[in-house]
Amino acid sequence: MDRRNFLRSGTIAAAGATLLHGENLFAKEKSTIRVGFIGVGMRGRNHLAIALRRNDVDVVAICDTQEDSLAQSRKQFKSFNKKAPKEYTGGLDAYKKMLEKEKLDAVIIATPWQFHYEQAIDSMNAGVYVGCEVIAGLTLEEHWNLVKTSESTGIPYMCLENVAYRRDVMAVLNMVRQGLLGEIVNLEGGYQHDLREVLFNDGKQPYGGGVEFGEKGYSEAQWRTQFNIDYDGDLYPTHGLGPLMHYADINHGNRITKIVSFSSKARGLASYIKKKAPGHPNTKIDFKNGDVTTSLMTCANGEILEIKHDVHLPRPYSIGIRVQGTNGIWMDVNNGMYIEGKSAKAHQWDKADEWIKKYDHPLWAKYEDEATGAGHGGMDWFVDNAFFESVKQGRQTPIDVYDSVTMSALFPLSIQSIKEGNKTLDFPDFTSGKWKTSKPSFALGDSGF
């Protein structure tokens, strides 16, 4: 019986209801896996480049609605001396033909946010591992449906959240697990990145040069800008919340219980357009999304989490991570570390570099050379490697469906909280109680996961 028929027989679907961490879902490990790409825009091609570097990943099909993206992908296959893939295009449903005709082991989904949910659901129902870019869905119902589909089919779903694999983030995770910072009390992070030249361009280049978006824009400006017109909330929560979840063992002995969100006035994007193109029609747009969104969350074990979304104003890039415990604190913004009784001077910051070097995570120590040259300083290699190795070994992904939807659900929850007058909301338990007995499985050693 082949893998696809085995899935559909229902045997694994019954086992999939628990989705145990590290469980070998499929009996036979594969030496090479067949992967399809749904979306090969700029972000999709970053993942594609990593896949094409590998001898154990055979990218057999790509799907996109835009010829420019397909053309750029063809160049990548040629540069890596790889066989040209089967191309699927012609409409938003083209990926369904790919799922039907290709014998895929996995898909990478890197399309605009509004398409992720349906494409992931269809892929899991086709018996195919899902590695999906953020965010998972637009509504709480969609997030719940992803969980139910993953459980009923037994197919893993992994949010490709790369910041969780950033070198300093993982080194501090190593410190936390060794008890260096004591008991964790307070965690902060976010997506704090000037995206004005991403949200607006001249329709010819991906970054800047004009104030166009939508049909007149190029790349992300074609679709991402509209979210800032239509929604007021944290539109991109996973870069901050993803790493913090591992520090607090969220869904693995702990869970988020409450959330409340606040949004500032919206002035940044309108100001940018007026400065760049006075009198342009886009100066009249009413942007709903506040320039800075702050969400506060409580946890079952007593920790406080704070997440910010700050992408409309002039500022340097920062995730703004703060990890604070009973023995000390790390903050990435000032590259500062303080450990009581171990830092050079009382009440003064150490430079974090030496601490990060000393506690370098085993994953980075082992795979640094392989990650060199990959996107975002190498962390893209780690998240993709974890996904591909999970598919090869037929095991659960280190960021599972519960973790994925938890870090993504801040999108609809923040919107609801702000809309209802900064109402404190219950945070859903997507694990349905399994968090109480689930053990951490993310990056426990140097195995690649």
Q: What is the pLDDT at residue 25? A: 66
d(Cα 379, Cα 384) in Å, to the nearest integer? 9
- Does domain 164-364+400-436 fall under CATH 3.30.360.10? My reply is yes
Angle of the 113-125 helix axis to the 140-153 helix axis, nearest 10: 20
Strand locations in 39-83, DSSP E? Answer: 57-63
Residue percentage of the chain with pLDDT more than 90 = 91
In DSSP notation, 131-156 reads: EEPSP--SSHHHHHHHHHHHHHH---
3-state secondary structure of 1: coil
> Fold match between 3-163 and 164-364+400-436?
no
SS3 content of the chain, % helix, strand, coil (to 5): 40, 20, 40
What global pTM score does this model have? 0.94
Q: What is the pLDDT of residues 342-367, one digit of tens each?
A: 999 999 999 999 999 999 999 999 99
Angle at 200 between CA 195 and CA 203, to 5 degrees: 135
Q: What is the pLDDT at residue 3? A: 39
Tell me the torsion sign for CA atoms 57, 59, 63, 67.
Answer: positive
Fold observed for domain 3-163: Rossmann fold (3.40.50)
Q: Look up residue 25 and give its amino acid.
A: L
* 378, pLDDT greater than 70: yes
Mean of per-residue pLDDT scores for the chain:
94
pLDDT-derived band at 282, boundaries 50, 70, 90: very high
Integer-rounded Cα radius of gyration of the chain: 22
What mean pLDDT comes out for the span 423-442?
97
Q: Which residues contact 148 (CB under 8 A, 6 or more apart)?
A: none
Q: What is the pLDDT of residues 92-133, one digit of tens each?
A: 999 999 999 999 999 999 999 999 999 999 999 999 999 999
CA distances from residue 314 to 205, 272, 345 in whole angstroms, order as listed? 20, 9, 35
Domain ranges of the chain: 3-163, 164-364+400-436
* 437, pLDDT greater than 50: yes
Q: What is the pLDDT of residues 54-99, one digit of tens each?
A: 999 999 999 999 999 999 999 999 999 999 999 999 999 999 999 9
What mean pLDDT comes out for the span 173-181?
98
